[in-house]
Structures are given as C-alpha cells and as structure tokens.
C-alpha cells in the first residue's frame, strides 16, 4: 500500500497528515501500537518540515512493506545533520527532542538532500518496533 498527500505548509495542516496516516495504517491491518507510532512520527516530521523548511507545500508519502512502514516527508530547503542530544538535554529541553524520541521508539531515520533543493526525512518503522 502506498499513500501520498500534498499539504500546504501551515501547521494546522499537520492534523490532516496524522489522520491520513492513521486511517491508511488501520485499513492496512497494522497493529494499533504501530499505528500510534506512525501517527506520532508523522506529526513530528511534518511539523518540522513546516516549521524549518521553505516553500508553500510539504509532501508526505507512506508505504507499507512486509517488514516495515516507511514514511517520507519532503519540503523545500536544505538537508540538515541530525544531532544526537545528551540525556540531560532530552530531559530538560522543551523543544528539539522529536527525532531523538522517534529513534528511541525504534524508528530508523534518514535525512537526505533531494534535487532540486529539497530535504526529505524518512522514518522506517520496523513492524516489531511498537511491541
């Protein structure tokens, strides 16, 4: 199964992506805990793209594979390097923890520059991650 959404780059559009992912994963028969993790990852990646990216749209692609769910979020703007915050930062920070939390929940994250001048963040969620 593959689903795609093009959203306006406004934070109120994040909910559209989360609901779409929840519905698609539920219809695909994915375990409820994994659906929740997919929805969490969608909210984080789409909100980041809208807040830090450029351009008027954000593209979201969701694909289910035999071993994983793959979520890719693309926006205009340069790719960035993922930082690895310290445990103290994660505990005390009010912002900037999302990618670290997704990784802690079992998501494999890839940040790439995609031509022309776009950034794609991909989260691969193993089907066993939420169990």
Q: What is the pLDDT of residues 35-49, one digit of tens each?
A: 999 999 999 999 999
The range of the structural domain enclosing residue 31 comes to 2-126
Omega before 69 cis (within 30°)? Answer: no
CATH number at residue 121: 3.30.565.10
In a domain, 88, yes or no: yes
In a domain, 54, yes or no: yes
In a domain, 131, yes or no: no
Mean pLDDT of all residues belonging to the chain: 89
- Global pTM? 0.88
In a domain, 66, yes or no: yes
Q: Are 31 and 22 in contact (CB under 8 A)?
A: no
Q: What is the DSSP letter of 96?
A: S
Mean pLDDT of the region 73-84: 79
Q: Are 106 and 89 in contact (CB under 8 A)?
A: no
pLDDT exceeding 70 applies to what percent of the chain? 85
Count of domains forming the chain: 1
């Amino acid at each position: 199964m593959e689903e795609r959404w093009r959203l306006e780059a406004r934070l109120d559009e994040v909910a559209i992506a989360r609901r779409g992912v929840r519905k698609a994963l539920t219809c695909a028969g994915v375990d409820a805990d994994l659906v929740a993790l997919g929805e969490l990852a969608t909210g984080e990646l789409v909100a980041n793209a809208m807040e830090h990216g450029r351009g008027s749209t954000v593209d979201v692609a969701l694909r289910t594979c035999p071993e994983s769910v793959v979520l890719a979020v693309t926006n205009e703007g340069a790719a960035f390097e993922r930082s690895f915050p310290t445990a103290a930062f994660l505990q005390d920070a009010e912002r900037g923890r999302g990618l670290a939390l997704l990784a802690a929940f079992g998501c494999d994250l890839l940040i790439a520059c995609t031509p022309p001048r776009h950034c794609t963040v991909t989260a691969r969620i193993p089907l066993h991650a939420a169990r």
